[in-house]
Chains A and B, each alone.
Chain A
């Protein structure tokens, strides 16, 4: 066995040591997961008899709903964070980009925390 081809040695090594391929792959993985979860969510909402407080809470308190909902939050939020990062890398440079990237991370994590906490608050007492 040799040491592999020169292409093989650099494959998977982006400018930041693998971050590029990792980013690309995770964007695809979260895209597939989001595709199924968002379709599930859209059709579940459409099929609910009513979106009023009582029926929405009753629906969300079931484990069969609360668990996919948490997965949806993780998958969709992760996916959009990667997508917005690409846009920021295209249009912003230098310190502006650093600040925008920080803001994007805070935005994503704060909203995700609110969403996940709310699902758990509704679903856990019912368990």
Chain B
């Protein structure tokens, strides 16, 4: 029998993030996961806190409002709104791809770009509606 090396020979590794040319398809996929987790651990906490504060009485709710409508709170809120619309846009892209559509090169790139355009446009439109409509 042939003798075997004591340590296993190093196996070839699959190319990782650093070796790929950065393309919009891969960016939208990574951003989908990142925004999803920002929503799961950021927006969801603020949402549950909002409901609990609303159920806890006017004094505690005022404290909640002071934190959330502080300058830092509004910046975080703007970021999470973008995360929500961006995740929604790339999620719609996933629905199309789950149906087996949009895998040709041109459509695939357009849908990835479209997800970013949707995320940015919807976020700006949403905040413009709030700020212009109510004059916070």
Q: Which A residues have a C-beta under 8 Å from some C-beta of B?
A: 28, 31-32, 35, 38, 42, 46, 49, 51-53, 56-57, 60, 69, 76-77, 80, 83-84, 87, 111-112, 114-115, 117-119, 121-122
Contact = CB atoms under 8 A, between A and B. Distances in A.
Interface of B: 33, 36-37, 39-40, 44-45, 47-48, 51-52, 54-55, 58, 61-62, 65, 81, 84, 88, 91-92, 94-95, 98, 126, 129-130, 133-134
Contacts of B47: 115
Contact of A46 (B33, B98, B133): B133
A77 B44 contact: yes
A80 B47 CA distance: 14
A75 to B, nearest CB: 12
A56 B130 contact: no
Contacts of A53: 54, 58, 61-62
A118 B133 contact: no
A92 to B, nearest CB: 14
A57 B61 CA distance: 11
Q: Do most interface residues of chain A lie in helix, strand or loop, or is the interface mixed?
A: helix
Contacts of A112: 48
Contacts of A122: 51, 54-55
A38 B88 contact: yes
B44 A76 contact: yes
A46 B62 contact: no
